[in-house]
Chain A
Amino acid sequence: MRDLIRRNLPFAAVAVVALVAAPLLLEPFRLGLLAKYLCYAIVALGIGLAWGKGGMLTLGQGVFFGLGGYAMAMYLKLTEAGPGGLPDFMVWSGVEELPALWAPFASPVLALGMAVLGPMALAVVLGTLVFRQRVRGAYFAILTQALAAALVILLVGQQGLTGGTNGMTNFFELFGRDLAEDSTQRGLYLVTAGVLGVLYLATRQLVNSRFGRLLVAVRDGEDRVRFLGYDPALVKTVTFAISAGMAGLAGALFVPVVGIISPALLGVVPSLELVVAVAVGGRHALAGAVLGAVVMGYAKTAFSEQFADGWLYLQGALFILVMTLAPKGIAGLLGRVRRARTA
């Protein structure tokens, strides 16, 4: 029991800070930014699971994030337009009747369900096709990146369905609450933080379970696991689908928090940025992935405010340094410090 408390102490401390201190101390604008970073942290958690534990470098998490975000945005646009109405951008592009694809998203349950299950279904299809054929490593990374590139072109091209390059913005209310209100935004922050906490605990549980051990074994020696009679493709597909579902949920939270979804937020570059955030935080520890997303999110805002051009140099230099000097990221460095102290 004592051990259990000690082991969960860091998590409890972070949870108190995130759920109690942050909403009290931060002004609404900063709290909104933190909520955005936490959305990214949910995606990063999924990457930490798929890449850190499962060895699947997915460069297309933006795809799942985007599908979740667009599902939510479609719901928000439809409630705003009212029954029989058309979202504003469709009117501008000369669409006269609501496309059939949009119809189900008028229901909040279906929209939220699609935000999570849609990405998972896509991941299951892609994972089954790819992992069954033992396509892995760099091949898998490139395929996921190509998917991200293809989705962006598709979203930009289908102006009348998706809002094109501008995506969708100008959301006013969510479940009858005014999105401009500080209290709504604080509520959204708390929901995001809560979702992240629950998902973190669940993922940690999963990693420590039999399935998690199998996943790590697949990462370290896929053929050996196959020879032992397990099905590595199944293990990888399930894990990939879970990480996709997380990204989808994060996208659905992101839209009301930030107030926009557009192709630029989910293409090749944002997808890679999240992977790098996980690398910076430390891919081998789930907490490292979350930490990395928050730190990199904060760093990007802070530096872009000061000098816009410098950010790319700094970001680039940071990756080079992290990959060469600390391949295990911040979590790896912290772990080394802790070990040095106890030794």
Chain B
Amino acid sequence: MTAFVNQLPIGLSIGAVLLLVALGLTFTFGQMGVINMAHGEFIMAGAYTAFLIGDLVLALPAAFLVAGAMGLVLERAAVRHFYGRPLDTLLLTWGVSLVLQQLARDLFGAPNVQVPAPSWLAGGVGILPYNRLFIMALAVAGVVAVWLYLNRTALGRRTQAVVQNRRLAATSGIDTGRVDMLTFFVGSGLAGVAGVALTLIGPVGPGLGTYYIVDAFLVVVAGGLGQLRGAVLAAAGLGLLNSYAEFWSDASLAKVIVFAVIIAFLQVRPQGMFVLRSRVLT
């Protein structure tokens, strides 16, 4: 029973990391239908930004801007020519991700680097270290910020309008091209923030992003496309599932169990937890 209780915060903190990574994806994948395989490398870029700056608090906005700018360039230079062809975007952005990984290897070297955690994050409560708590707080803050952005600002409402009906939004005078740019900027910037958070729990290397990207995409699939509350619930659910599956079986079986649970879940809710209702048929 104590083991069961101990596993709970571990699962939630895994979920918080997943949520931070998936938040950006709910923008680019969920809202725009773009499968950005380079999202993982934006995470890596955020982590290296933290490594260069060396200060956690300064690194958060800096990483947001760096990764966001990279996303903006990617959207303008390449992705915007591929709207409506999601599978082609996937391959294109994978090419970008390969180039970025090699670039990181050339710039920072292949071995992992360590970002020293600030002293005020040393220690913890019970079995939960402060850095894990900080990541959870960051995830919560991220969700609140994204919710406020989408629902309380004019730009966010325009974003939602474009998601729900691109043509109608364009006819109503919304510059959909600019909305796409902005959405990509915010989504990629959030990846940068996630990257900073990841420096608190492990070393930084060129392959950092690839480690999280598959699970993060699963969060979006299970949560429902472009659904914030879906992403929150799915990230928490997957985090807990991961930690309990590892606890009851072993680490190597856990991923298979998680995969089976997701397939089973899709039998009940094929489009994820929450679905954006629309009358559009393919």
Q: A129-B263, A157-B250 are in contact. Are A141 and B87 (CB under 8 A)?
A: yes
Q: Are the C-beta atoms of B214 and A145 separated by less than 8 Å? A: yes
Query: Is B86 an interface position by the 8 A CB rule?
Result: yes
Binds A, one of B12-20, B64-72, B95-103: B95-103
Q: Are the C-beta atoms of B92 and A320 separated by less than 8 Å? A: yes
Q: A138-B86, A150-B259 are in contact. Are A319 and B95 (CB under 8 A)?
A: yes
Per the bound structure, the CA–CA distance linking A317 and B215 in Å amounts to 26
Q: Which residues of A contact B101 (CB under 8 A)?
A: 312
Q: Are the C-beta atoms of B217 and A142 separated by less than 8 Å? A: yes
Per the bound structure, the CA–CA distance linking A323 and B217 in Å amounts to 22
Q: Are the C-beta atoms of B253 and A157 separated by less than 8 Å? A: yes
Q: Which residues of A contact B214 (CB under 8 A)?
A: 142, 145-146, 149, 268
0/1 string, B117-136, CB within 8 A of A gives 1: 00000000000000000000
Q: Which residues of B contact A279 (CB under 8 A)?
A: 91
Query: Closest CB-CB distance, B231 to chain A, in whole Å?
Result: 14
Q: Which residues of A contact B279 (CB under 8 A)?
A: none
Q: Are the C-beta atoms of A57 and B270 separated by less than 8 Å? A: no
Query: Closest CB-CB distance, B239 to chain A, in whole Å?
Result: 15
Q: Are the C-beta atoms of A157 and B102 separated by less than 8 Å? A: no
Query: Is A313 an interface position by the 8 A CB rule?
Result: yes
> Which chain B residue lies CB-closest to A224?
B282
In the complex, chain A residues 301-324 whose Cβ is within 8 Å of any chain B Cβ: 309, 312-313, 315-320, 323-324
Query: Is A156 an interface position by the 8 A CB rule?
Result: yes
Q: Are the C-beta atoms of A133 and B267 separated by less than 8 Å? A: yes
Q: Are the C-beta atoms of A138 and B94 separated by less than 8 Å? A: no
Query: Is B195 an interface position by the 8 A CB rule?
Result: no
> Which chain B residue lies CB-closest to A129?
B263
Q: Are the C-beta atoms of B98 and A312 separated by less than 8 Å? A: yes
Q: Are the C-beta atoms of A130 and B263 separated by less than 8 Å? A: yes
Per the bound structure, the CA–CA distance linking A145 and B215 in Å amounts to 10
Which of B78, B221, B259, B270 sits near A147, CB closer than 8 Å? B259
Q: Which residues of A contact B221 (CB under 8 A)?
A: 139, 142-143
Query: Closest CB-CB distance, A67 to chain B, in whole Å?
Result: 13
Q: Are the C-beta atoms of B282 and A222 separated by less than 8 Å? A: yes
Query: Is A30 an interface position by the 8 A CB rule?
Result: no
> Which chain A residue lies CB-closest to B260?
A150
For chain A, the count of residues having a C-beta within 8 Å of the partner chain is: 46
0/1 string, B148-184, CB within 8 A of A gives 1: 0000000000000000000000000000000000000
Query: Is B81 an interface position by the 8 A CB rule?
Result: yes
Q: A157-B252, A222-B282 are in contact. Are A133 and B92 (CB under 8 A)?
A: no
Q: A137-B86, A138-B90, A317-B99 are in contact. Are A145 and B256 (CB under 8 A)?
A: no
Query: Is A234 an interface position by the 8 A CB rule?
Result: no
0/1 string, A1-13, CB within 8 A of B gives 1: 0000000000000
Q: Which residues of B contact A268 (CB under 8 A)?
A: 210, 214
Q: Which residues of A contact B35 (CB under 8 A)?
A: 138, 141-142
Query: Is A153 an interface position by the 8 A CB rule?
Result: yes
Per the bound structure, the CA–CA distance linking A151 and B254 in Å amounts to 11
Query: Is A126 an interface position by the 8 A CB rule?
Result: yes
Q: Are the C-beta atoms of A317 and B95 separated by less than 8 Å? A: yes
> Which chain B residue lies CB-closest to A158?
B252
Query: Is B258 an interface position by the 8 A CB rule?
Result: yes
Q: A141-B35, A316-B95 are in contact. Are A154 and B267 (CB under 8 A)?
A: no
Query: Is A135 an interface position by the 8 A CB rule?
Result: yes
Per the bound structure, the CA–CA distance linking A157 and B94 in Å amounts to 27
Which of A138, A221, A272, A318 sits near B33, CB closer than 8 Å? A138
Per the bound structure, the CA–CA distance linking A316 and B37 in Å amounts to 12
> Which chain B residue lies CB-closest to A157?
B252
Q: Which residues of B contact A222 (CB under 8 A)?
A: 282
Query: Closest CB-CB distance, A250 to chain B, in whole Å?
Result: 21
Per the bound structure, the CA–CA distance linking A143 and B81 in Å amounts to 26
Per the bound structure, the CA–CA distance linking A327 and B84 in Å amounts to 14
Which of A130, A149, A316 sits near B266, CB closer than 8 Å? A130
0/1 string, B253-275, CB within 8 A of A gives 1: 11110110011001100100000
Q: Which residues of B contact A158 (CB under 8 A)?
A: 252
Q: Which residues of A contact B266 (CB under 8 A)?
A: 129-130, 133, 135
> Which chain A residue lies CB-closest to B101?
A312
Q: Are the C-beta atoms of A316 and B99 separated by less than 8 Å? A: yes
Query: Is B218 an interface position by the 8 A CB rule?
Result: yes
Q: A153-B251, A221-B282, A222-B282 are in contact. Are A324 and B99 (CB under 8 A)?
A: no
In the complex, chain A residues 101-146 whose Cβ is within 8 Å of any chain B Cβ: 126, 129-130, 133-135, 137-139, 141-143, 145-146
Q: A135-B266, A319-B95, A324-B81 are in contact. Are A150 and B251 (CB under 8 A)?
A: no
Query: Is A276 an interface position by the 8 A CB rule?
Result: yes
Q: A141-B35, A149-B255, A324-B92 are in contact. Are A315 and B250 (CB under 8 A)?
A: no
Q: Which residues of B contact A150 (CB under 8 A)?
A: 255-256, 258-259
15 new A-B contacts at CB < 8 Å, known A137-B87, A223-B281, A276-B95 = A51-B87, A133-B267, A142-B217, A143-B259, A146-B215, A146-B218, A149-B255, A150-B258, A153-B254, A157-B253, A222-B282, A315-B95, A315-B98, A317-B99, A320-B92
Q: Write 26 A-B pairs (CB below 8 A) sorted by A numbering.
A: A135-B266, A138-B33, A141-B35, A141-B87, A141-B90, A142-B218, A146-B217, A147-B259, A149-B255, A150-B258, A151-B256, A153-B254, A157-B252, A158-B252, A279-B91, A309-B105, A313-B99, A315-B98, A316-B97, A317-B95, A319-B94, A319-B98, A320-B92, A320-B96, A323-B91, A324-B92
Residues on A facing B (Cβ under 8 Å): 51, 57, 126, 129-130, 133-135, 137-139, 141-143, 145-147, 149-151, 153-158, 221-223, 268, 272, 275-276, 279, 309, 312-313, 315-320, 323-324, 327
